[in-house]
Amino acid sequence: MSSAAAAPLPTVNTPLLRPAIQVHSQSQTRLSHRARRRDHRRSKRTFLANILPASIALILLLAFAFIAYDVSSLGDCVTPLCRALGGDKGLEDIWWRNQGPYAPFRSLGKFGAQKGLPRGCEVDQVTVLHRHTARYPTSSAGQCILRSLSKLKHREVRLPRGPHELAFLAKTDLDLRDWEFDGLMDQGRKQAWVSGRKIREIYAKFLRSAKVFTRSSGGGRVVETSGYWLEGFNGQRFKLKDKKRLPLVDVVIPEGETANNTLSVHTCPAFNALDPTPGNVHRATLSQQLQPTITRLNEALRPQPPLEVDDLLCLADMCGYDSQASGQDWNGWSKWCGVFTPQEWEILGYGKDLSRWYDVGQGGRYGPTMGAGYVNELIARLTDSEVVDTTITNRTINADENLFPRGGKRLFVDFGHDNEMLEVLAAMGVKHQRRDLPSDHVPTKRTFIVSEIVPFGGKITFERVACDTGNWEPDPEVPEGDHDNHDQPYEDRDHRNRGRYATLVGVSDGGRGRDGKKDYVRILVNDKVELVDHEACRYSGLIEHGLCEMEAFVDSQRFATTDVDWNICYEHEKEGREGSD
Ligand SMILES: *[C@@H]1O[C@H](CO)[C@@H](O)[C@H](O)[C@H]1NC(C)=O
Ligand SMILES: *[C@@H]1O[C@H](CO)[C@@H](O)[C@H](O)[C@H]1NC(C)=O
């Protein structure tokens, strides 16, 4: 299921080894035929009959071995055959996985609305936390990229010609003349429209009787994303428009260091003062492994001044950006992606994961704290009640039913940024890591991949699901185990049965007091079911369907509701003052 997007093409690693073996045995048959003939007429043709086929077989074997290598994840997919077979699908997966937050959107599952729910269950409320879609680099990232590009521009070698992976540098625009830093790209505008249309389609049945409420963080690219999204959602045709002519969400919340805004949290001074950030420290440790890459590119291109590790990090971002920077539709990966080998990409990509996880994710001191406000808003909606929060929700806005409707049968859509989405997941215990991510090597199995969580246009969906537990029975259409997250130990039969038991006996305990109905929460990250790593949900009924009972879910969110301490955001000031006294 997790690989639903990465459709298994018949290319990866092994299949080609089989034809290689067949060819080998064919030539062996040929050999034995000839050997029989040779019995009749032994002659000077011994050489031709014996050595030549053997060497042909050997050459074929080597050729096939190379192609098999080429197609495998170790190779670079340079042969036409590999490309024809779709072998660069493997390569494309590597590029996508390693673009971090600059990856283009990919749906990772087929869930949402009725899909994957047991019989008797129905979606009753939906909140989508939606990242803005593809944009050009921010101004500061843009400066870093331009600095590195200018080194390449002042190279001291002629570029190799022909199919060499660096040859494109001779023709490509190293000044990024048409790039509007901070702004949305046309592909992003279209993608936002597509997303709106898709959500309208997926939730069509629910929307027949549900209201819609939308919020956006105040940043230009976020508001514009929400505008195109609304056009798609409202069934308009896609058309590039002046920003002012786009529809507007119900509430726009200003951004900035004095604004209480759960969709853009910049009011934690201690976090703002981190220098260097822990994420950068961890990424720097990992990046020591890029030394051979620096040497390789400096020898091949002799840029002036020579590239350093920061240049590599900035140049790596060209892969995702340049792939999305032209046209309205995806048109394949940029040649920039080929500048690095698959092994180098794993280091570059995992470095992005490290930096987010230690800065705004579970690995950072402030990440979960900054995500708590949004979790409390979500709990208010899920339980049809007022927001209770001790962090950075705006009390004035949230006390007003017109600006913050208290739940009900609604589709809520909130447009914001990647960092806050990671903070929210960290506060909730979703994508929870049992161990700190190592920074001295790239783990063979990566369990926190930023491009899977917050690519451009990424979305986290929280569904309130009402189930008629009185008549509960397993849905024959949903095969056992056809749910997600095999990484986490929810598969345990005892737990599952206990959960089932709880569901069956807990009939009277009906969610919001409707006949025999009980409320559950289901969380989707880019259409793939994710679970809250908390025992309350682990033991919940219907957990095998990715559902967590409402009460258990609220219970699992004790960090945001109770334990969070916003005061840690001011501790450094106290220390600072004490120090200077
Ligand atoms: C809270 O929202 C109100 C109403 O939009 C606004 O006037 C006020 O400045 C906001 N306060 C903060 C701290 O963001
Ligand atoms: C804004 O958040 C601060 C905590 O950072 C809180 O003390 C204040 O009451 C909030 N303001 C509003 C209008 O909610």
pLDDT exceeds 50 at position 389 = yes
- pLDDT tens for 163-206 read 789 999 999 999 999 999 999 999 999 999 999 999 999 999 99
**Which ligand has the shortest distance to the CA of 270?**
2
Predicted pLDDT of residue 89: 77
Query: Which is the closest atom of ligand 2 to the Cα of 398?
Result: 14
Higher pLDDT, 224 or 51: 224
Distance 392 CA to ligand 1 centre (A): 11
- pLDDT tens for 221-243 read 999 999 999 999 999 999 999 99
- Position 49 confidence tier, pLDDT thresholds 50, 70, 90: low
- Position 47 confidence tier, pLDDT thresholds 50, 70, 90: low
Quick one: average pLDDT of 455-472? 90
**Which ligand has the shortest distance to the CA of 564?**
2
pLDDT exceeds 70 at position 16 = no
**Can you read off the two tokens belonging to residue 209?**
């009787």
Place of tokens 């609220």: 554
Higher pLDDT, 330 or 64: 330
Beta strands of 229-296 (E only): which ranges? Answer: 251-253
Cα–Cα distance, 549 to 555 (Å, whole number): 10
Report the residue among 216, 267, 394 best suited for mutation to probe ligand 1: largest number of ligand atoms under 8 A from its CB: 394
pLDDT exceeds 50 at position 408 = yes
Report the residue among 260, 264, 265, 402 best suited for mutation to probe ligand 1: largest number of ligand atoms under 8 A from its CB: 260
With 0-12 / 13-18 / 19 or more C-beta atoms within 10 angstroms meaning exposed / middle / buried, residue 124 is: buried
Distance 390 CA to ligand 2 centre (A): 8
User: Following DSSP, what letter does each residue of 153-221 receive, concatenated?
Assistant: HT-SSPPP-TT-TTGGGGTS-SS-TT--TTSBPHHHHHHHHHHHHHHHHHTHHHHTT-EEEEEEESSHH
Report the residue among 263, 397, 398, 403 best suited for mutation to probe ligand 1: largest number of ligand atoms under 8 A from its CB: 397
- pLDDT tens for 553-578 read 999 999 999 999 999 999 877 655 44
Output the ligand 1 site: residues, CB below 6 A: 259-260, 394, 396-397
Rounded to 10 deg, the angle between the 309-324 and 278-287 helix axes is 100
Helix (H, G, I), strand (E, B) or coil at 569: helix
Predicted pLDDT of residue 81: 60
Quick one: average pLDDT of 378-401? 98
Distance 257 CA to ligand 1 centre (A): 12
- pLDDT tens for 125-141 read 999 999 999 999 999 99
Cα–Cα distance, 200 to 35 (Å, whole number): 70
Question: pTM of this prediction?
Answer: 0.81
The chain-wide mean pLDDT, for the chain, equals 85
**Which protein residue's CA is at the shortest distance from atom 5 of ligand 2?**
392
Predicted pLDDT of residue 34: 52
Predicted pLDDT of residue 67: 65
Distance 381 CA to ligand 2 centre (A): 20
Report the residue among 253, 257, 260 best suited for mutation to probe ligand 2: largest number of ligand atoms under 8 A from its CB: 260
- pLDDT tens for 69-112 read 665 545 555 565 655 555 567 999 999 999 999 999 999 999 99
Contacts of residue 355, defined as CB under 8 A and 6 or more positions apart, other chains included, come to 277, 279, 280, 282, 283
Query: Which is the closest atom of ligand 1 to the Cα of 394?
Result: 1
pLDDT exceeds 60 at position 264 = yes
Residue ranges per structural domain of the chain: 95-465
Minimal CA–CA distance to 339: which of 525, 501, 174, 139? 174
Distance 260 CA to ligand 1 centre (A): 7
Predicted pLDDT of residue 11: 34
Min mean pLDDT across 50-54, 266-270, 299-303, 353-357 is at 50-54
Quick one: average pLDDT of 459-469? 95
Neighbouring CB atoms inside 10 A of 66's CB total: 15
Helix (H, G, I), strand (E, B) or coil at 479: coil
**Which protein residue's CA is at the shortest distance from atom 4 of ligand 2?**
392
Calculate what percentage of the chain has a pLDDT beyond 90. 73
Distance 386 CA to ligand 2 centre (A): 16
Predicted pLDDT of residue 348: 98
pLDDT exceeds 90 at position 5 = no
Neighbouring CB atoms inside 10 A of 37's CB total: 12
Quick one: average pLDDT of 335-359? 98
**Which ligand has the shortest distance to the CA of 566?**
2
Predicted pLDDT of residue 71: 57
Report the residue among 392, 565, 568 best suited for mutation to probe ligand 2: largest number of ligand atoms under 8 A from its CB: 392
Higher pLDDT, 352 or 89: 352
Quick one: average pLDDT of 143-157? 96
- Position 295 confidence tier, pLDDT thresholds 50, 70, 90: very high
- Position 452 confidence tier, pLDDT thresholds 50, 70, 90: very high
Distance 269 CA to ligand 2 centre (A): 14
Min mean pLDDT across 40-44, 276-280, 327-331, 405-409 is at 40-44
Cα–Cα distance, 354 to 267 (Å, whole number): 23
- Is the CATH code 3.50.50.60 the one for domain 95-465? no
**Which protein residue's CA is at the shortest distance from atom 12 of ligand 2?**
394
Q: Rounded to a whole number, what is the distance in angstroms from the first to the last CA of the chain? A: 59
Distance 248 CA to ligand 1 centre (A): 19
Place of tokens 């260091």: 257
Output the ligand 2 site: residues, CB below 6 A: 260, 267, 392, 394-396, 566
Query: Which is the closest atom of ligand 2 to the Cα of 260?
Result: 1
Distance 261 CA to ligand 1 centre (A): 9
Distance 259 CA to ligand 1 centre (A): 7
**Which protein residue's CA is at the shortest distance from atom 9 of ligand 1?**
259
Predicted pLDDT of residue 21: 34
